[in-house]
Amino acid sequence: MLNNPSPSSPRALKPVLSGRQLNMIAIGGVIGAGLFVGSGTAISAAGPAVLLAYIGVGAVVFLIMRMLAELAVASPDSGSFARYATRAFGPWAGVTVSSLYTYSWVVVIGFEATAGAAIIHGFFPSVPPWAAALVFMITFTLTNLISARAFGEFEFWFALIKVVAICAFLTVGLLAIAGLLPGTQAPGLANLTGHGFTPHGWQPVWMACLVVFFSFFGAESVTIAAGEAKHPAAAVRRAMRSVIIRIMTFYVGSVAVVVTLLPSDDKSIANGPYGAVLAHIGIPHATAIVDVIVLTAVLSLLNSGIYASSRMMFAAAQRGELPATLGRVTERGVPVNAVLVASSGGFLTVVANYFFPTDTIFLFLLQSSGTIGVAVYLFIALTQIQTRRRMSKSAAQELPVRMWGFPYLPVFVVLVLLGIVAGLAFDEGSQRSLALSGLATAVALTAGVIRQLRNPAPPAQSPQTDPVPADPNLPSPPAATGA
């Protein structure tokens, strides 16, 4: 029988996640179906110049993660950036960020359960999609209810499968590009320049940047898991240092292989660039292989979504921003009520799929959460700027990890994020999603303001009385300009 102590109980989240698990959580949170399937849309629209979109957006996300690393390494916390926003601006900011982030993940959980069920139905037509989705939801809800270690181990192996698959794809692709595979000829630069580097002009490249940006969303989840890491500051520092480099390699490398081996106007790319390349070079059962990999990616995000949203709700409840029951934990350190609420989106989707095969309400929810990632990253950037601005020069120098070029690079990141919002506003295909996401943001912001008015935050401590906490497992280097 589960024992749910009150939030004041000494039982809390347990530090059970190892460094290897945290590394894979960071990678697995961002490598999803967007890479294996969604990237095909960007390639078809922008042509070979899509590489610039991946490099540019990857660089911006790298800077955002560096800003978040500065905050997270100094103060590892399961509430992560929502708690940092509360410290920087007050409860209204914490409520807004935690509400938006939780909402977006709860919707994603339902979507991933549906997507995974569709793949299973393709392999086994006799299995109804709703039944497969129900099995997935029960499995991963139970996994998250067991312990954070169980979640971390599942995520480690899911992420490892994705990493191995991408590495294999890159290896085979490079051999094909070099003409070293039987039956293949080296394509040279024909597909990169044959129809022009920007066959449709530069506007589609900018629009591709918007698609690419949302593919990278999820890298921040590692800081949420920091609260349950064995050596949080050291683990987060290592994970944040390596994850973006690996992701950039996987994303940019994979896309480079695709646009080199296939012309960007190849219709098969839009349906899935990985499968198109494997079929092109003669790999048997290419579609089935990619479907299995995509299923792994989908289930990984489903697993991560339940974990990330439940921990965000748990931290908000601990701050008094959500009902106290969501802040209760079992003897194993699991916020069981938060996990059940986080899973509710998936179970409601299963019910909707049973009664309504084409659920317009679910489509509405997806569109209303589609651009929330921009708002979350904008809050992270502003929080880092505000937190550093309030620090004394000596306190800033003692940070284990520091954002480069403060305040110029952080301000640049904020301007880029605002530019993405402007781009979405001018893109007819994104305007509805932007409007609905803006409505969701307005609701969350209103809830935050009401919380602030009812329970004003205590006066903020000065940097002199609120020093950067030291981590006994992380040696303090004399110069902390590199992660």
pLDDT, tens digit only, all 483 positions of the chain: 333 344 444 457 888 888 788 877 777 767 776 777 778 888 888 899 999 999 998 889 889 989 998 998 888 766 678 989 999 999 999 999 999 999 888 888 888 888 888 899 899 999 998 899 999 999 999 999 999 999 999 989 988 898 899 899 999 999 999 989 887 888 888 888 877 888 888 888 888 887 788 778 877 887 888 778 887 777 777 777 776 677 778 889 999 999 999 998 888 888 788 888 998 888 888 888 888 988 998 898 889 889 999 999 998 898 888 888 999 998 888 999 999 999 988 898 788 777 765 455 556 666 677 788 889 999 999 999 999 999 998 999 999 889 999 999 999 999 999 998 888 888 787 888 888 888 999 999 999 999 888 877 544 443 333 444 444 444 444 343 343
pLDDT value at residue 359 = 52
**What are the φ and ψ backbone dihedral angles of 229, each rounded to 5 degrees?**
-85, 150
Q: What pLDDT does 366 receive? A: 67
Q: Which amino acid, residue 333?
A: G
Longest dimension (CA), the chain: 71
Domains and CATH numbers, the chain: 19-454 (1.20.1740.10)
Q: What local confidence, expressed as pLDDT, does residue 237 receive? A: 77
**Which pLDDT score, from 0 to 100, does residue 362 have?**
59
Question: pTM for the complete prediction?
Answer: 0.85
The pLDDT assigned to 464 comes to: 37
Question: What pLDDT score was predicted for residue 383?
Answer: 96
Residue 480's φ and ψ, nearest 5 degrees, are -105, 50
CA dist 314 and 328 (Å) reads 8
CA distances from 166 to 42, 244, 272 (A): 19, 15, 14
